C-alpha cells in the first residue's frame, strides 16, 4: 500500500466541478524525414503494446479504517487513450481549440487519474498528443521529468517509452512501499504515535515562527501578502466559467542577459513581466488597482520522492503605476523574502505552509462564495525549470508543447512559464469573465518584456557614460 501524502490529498478536498484541479499538456511533433503517411498511427499502435507503470496504474482509495492511499490496479488503455483527427487543413489554431475542449472534463476518481488524446491530421503530416493529469500526482517538475524519460535528445534514437510506462520517482516509491509491506513491523503503534506527535509539534513551532514574523512585518508597516487581502481585479464576479488560453514566446538568452544586467534571477524577471502585463491589461479595461497585486507562487522543495514536491507562498508584486525597473526591484525583494521563509522550514513544514496558503485561497470557492468575497491571490505564477535541449520521440521532432492549466485555488488567472530549447513560453489560462481578450494579454506580456529590457539598457548606457572620464584638452601652444 502506497500512502498518500497530505499535500497530494489536499487536491481532492479542493476539487469541484467549478474548480477542477487537473492540468493538460499538449505536445506537437514533426515526423522524421521520409516517414510513411501512417507513421503516427503505427507509433500509437506500438505504444499501446507497452506495459503500464506507476502512477498510471494507481487510483485513489478511500476506505473506512485506513488512511487515504494509492491502490495498484489493472489498466484498460481503451478507457484512457483516445484518438482523433483534425478536419482539414489542421492548423495550429484548430489544434489549440481542440486541445482546450479536450482538456476540460474532470478525471474520474474511480480509476487511475489520467487520460491521453492522440491527435492526427495536422498540417505538414504532424501529430500531437494531449496528456491530462491530476495535480494530486503531478507537478510541473514531474511533467518535465516525464518528458526527459520518454524522449531523447537525439533524432537518431529509436528507443522510446510510452508516456504511461511510468515515471521513475513513482516506480521507485511503489517498490519501496512493497518492501515495507513485506518487512516485519519495527515500531510499535505507541512508538509511531509518539514519533508523529513529536514531528507535528516541531512543524507547528516552525510555522508559528514564520507567521509571527509575517505579523510583525505587517504591524511594522511593511506590505506583505495576507489572506483575502488582494485587490479586486475581476471585471465580473459572477461571469462565465469558460476558460480562455493564450501563449507568448521570448528567447531564453534575452531573459538571461536581462537578469544578469539587473542583478536579478530568471524568475524575478518573468514574474515582473507578467505582473506588468496584467496591470496594463486592467488599466486598459479602466479598472483602478490601488495596491500591489498578490501572486501565489509554487516553489520546489529539494527532497526525494514522488507526487508533489512543492511548497508555495503568497508574494506581493509591484506597486500600481511602477516603472519597469522599480517593479523588478520590488519583485526581487518579495521573492527573496518568500524563499527565505520557506527555506527556514523542513520539508513537512514547507508543504504544510503551502497547504495553509492554498486553503485560504481556495476556501471561498469550496463553500461556493468565492465570487462574493475578496481574493487571496490575483494570479498564480508557476515557473518549473524546463527543458534546455531539443527532444525527439522515436525520431519525431518535438516542435513545442503547451500547458493547459486550470485557474483554480481561488485564483482566476494562471501563468505557466517554462523553457524549451532556445525559447521561454508563457502559457496563460483564465476565465472568460476575467480575461476576455487573451490575445491582448499575450501581446502585453511581450511588450512588458521589451519595455523592461529597454529600461535596463538605458540605465546601463547612462552608467557607462558616467564612468567614462572626459578627455583633457591639450593646452594651446603660443605662436613664436
Q: How far is 470 from 146, CA to CA, in rounded Å? A: 58
CA distance 47 to 37: 18
Instruction: Note the pLDDT of residue 410.
Output: 61
Per the listing, cell 491521453 goes with 116
- Mean pLDDT, residues 133-143: 87
CA-nearest of 11, 2, 36 to 310 is 11
- Is the distance from CB of 407 to CB of 26 less than 8 angstroms? no
End-to-end CA distance of the chain: 105
State yes or no: pLDDT of 308 exceeds 80: no
pLDDT digits (tens, 9 = 90+) for 413-442: 989 899 999 999 999 988 888 898 999 999
pLDDT for position 3:
85
pLDDT (0 to 100) of residue 387: 87
Region 352-357: mean pLDDT is 57
312 pLDDT band (50/70/90 cuts)? low
* pLDDT average, residue stretch 105-131: 96
Instruction: Please state which of the ranges 266-270, 358-362, 368-372 shows the lowest mean pLDDT.
Output: 368-372
Q: What is the mean pLDDT of the chain?
A: 81
Q: Does pLDDT of 310 surpass 80?
A: no
Residue 176 pLDDT level (bands cut at 50, 70, 90): confident
**Beta-strand pair 243-251/310-316:** unpaired
Closest CA to 274 of 293, 301, 259: 293
pLDDT at 108: 93
- Provide CB contacts within 8 A for 63, sequence distance 6+: none
What does the alpha-carbon distance between residue 322 and residue 455 come to, in Å, rounded to a whole number?
13
Closest CA to 457 of 331, 280, 325: 325
210/228 Cα distance (integer angstroms): 18
Euclidean distance between CA atoms 358 and 354, whole angstroms: 6
Residue 462 binned pLDDT confidence (cut-offs 50, 70, 90): confident
Give the model confidence (pLDDT) of 9-50 as tens digits: 878 877 766 667 888 999 999 999 999 999 999 999 999 999
pLDDT digits (tens, 9 = 90+) for 314-329: 889 999 999 999 999 9
Residue 375: per-residue pLDDT: 78
100 contacts 128 by C-beta, under 8 angstroms: no
| Model confidence band, residue 338 (pLDDT cutoffs 50, 70, 90) | confident
pLDDT in the model for residue 363: 60
pTM of the prediction? 0.78
What's the pLDDT score for residue 225? 65
- Report the distance separating Cα 151 and Cα 163, nearest Å: 9
Task: Choose the most confident range, by mean pLDDT, from 109-118, 361-370, 471-480.
Answer: 109-118
- The pLDDT, as a whole number, for residue 203 is 43
The 10s digit of each residue's pLDDT in 182-229 is: 444 444 444 444 444 444 444 444 444 444 444 444 444 444 566 667
How confident is residue 371, by pLDDT bands cut at 50, 70 and 90? Answer: low
**Chain segment 1-20, per-residue pLDDT in tens:** 788 887 788 788 777 666 67
Query: Would you state the pLDDT for residue 297?
Result: 83
What pLDDT does 254 receive? Answer: 97
Answer with the residue of higher pLDDT: 277 or 234.
277
Amino acid at each position: 500500500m502506497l500512502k498518500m501524502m497530505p499535500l497530494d490529498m489536499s487536491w481532492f478536498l479542493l476539487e469541484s466541478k467549478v474548480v477542477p484541479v487537473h492540468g493538460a499538456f499538449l505536445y506537437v511533433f514533426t515526423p522524421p524525414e521520409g516517414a510513411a503517411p501512417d507513421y503516427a498511427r503505427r507509433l500509437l499502435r506500438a505504444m499501446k503494446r507497452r506495459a503500464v507503470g506507476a502512477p498510471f496504474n494507481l487510483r485513489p482509495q478511500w476506505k473506512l479504517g485506513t488512511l487515504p492511499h494509492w491502490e495498484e490496479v489493472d489498466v484498460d488503455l481503451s478507457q484512457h487513450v483516445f484518438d482523433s483527427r483534425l478536419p482539414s487543413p489542421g492548423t495550429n489554431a484548430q489544434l489549440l481549440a481542440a486541445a482546450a475542449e479536450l482538456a476540460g472534463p474532470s478525471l474520474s476518481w474511480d480509476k487511475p487519474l489520467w487520460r491521453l488524446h492522440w491527435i492526427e491530421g495536422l498540417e505538414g503530416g504532424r501529430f500531437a498528443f494531449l496528456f491530462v493529469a491530476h495535480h494530486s500526482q503531478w507537478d510541473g517538475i514531474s511533467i518535465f521529468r516525464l518528458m526527459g524519460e520518454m524522449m531523447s535528445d537525439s533524432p537518431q534514437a529509436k528507443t522510446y517509452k510510452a508516456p504511461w510506462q511510468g515515471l521513475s520517482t513513482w516506480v521507485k516509491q511503489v517498490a519501496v512501499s512493497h518492501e515495507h509491506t513485506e518487512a516485519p513491523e519495527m515500531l510499535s503503534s505507541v512508538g509511531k504515535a509518539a514519533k508523529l506527535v513529536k514531528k507535528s509539534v516541531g512543524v507547528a513551532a516552525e510555522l508559528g515562527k514564520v507567521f509571527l514574523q509575517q505579523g510583525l512585518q505587517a504591524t511594522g508597516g511593511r506590505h506583505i501578502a495576507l489572506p483575502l487581502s488582494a485587490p479586486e481585479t475581476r471585471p465580473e464576479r459572477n461571469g462565465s466559467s469558460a476558460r480562455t488560453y493564450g501563449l507568448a514566446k521570448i528567447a531564453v538568452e534575452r531573459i538571461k542577459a536581462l537578469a544578469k544586467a539587473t542583478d536579478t534571477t530568471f524568475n524575478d524577471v518573468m514574474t515582473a513581466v507578467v505582473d506588468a502585463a496584467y496591470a496594463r491589461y486592467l488599466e486598459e479595461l479602466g479598472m483602478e488597482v490601488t495596491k500591489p497585486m498578490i501572486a501565489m507562487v509554487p516553489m520546489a522543495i529539494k527532497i526525494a520522492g514522488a507526487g508533489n514536491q512543492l511548497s508555495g507562498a503568497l508574494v506581493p508584486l509591484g506597486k500600481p503605476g511602477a516603472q519597469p525597473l522599480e517593479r523588478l526591484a520590488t519583485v526581487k525583494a518579495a521573492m527573496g523574502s518568500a524563499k527565505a521563509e520557506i527555506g527556514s522550514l523542513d520539508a513537512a513544514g514547507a508543504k504544510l505552509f503551502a497547504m495553509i496558503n492554498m486553503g485560504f485561497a481556495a476556501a471561498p470557492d469550496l463553500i461556493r462564495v468565492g465570487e462574493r468575497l475578496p481574493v487571496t491571490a490575483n494570479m498564480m505564477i508557476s515557473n518549473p525549470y524546463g527543458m534546455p535541449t531539443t527532444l525527439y520521440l522515436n525520431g519525431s521532432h518535438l516542435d513545442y508543447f503547451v500547458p493547459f492549466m486550470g485557474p483554480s485555488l481561488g485564483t482566476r488567472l494562471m501563468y505557466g512559464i517554462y523553457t524549451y530549447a532556445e525559447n521561454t513560453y508563457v502559457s496563460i489560462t483564465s476565465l472568460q469573465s476575467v480575461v476576455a481578450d487573451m490575445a491582448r494579454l499575450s501581446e502585453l506580456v511581450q511588450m512588458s518584456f521589451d519595455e523592461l529590457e529597454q529600461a535596463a539598457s538605458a540605465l546601463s548606457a547612462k552608467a557607462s557614460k558616467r564612468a567614462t572620464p572626459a578627455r583633457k584638452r591639450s593646452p594651446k601652444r603660443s605662436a613664436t
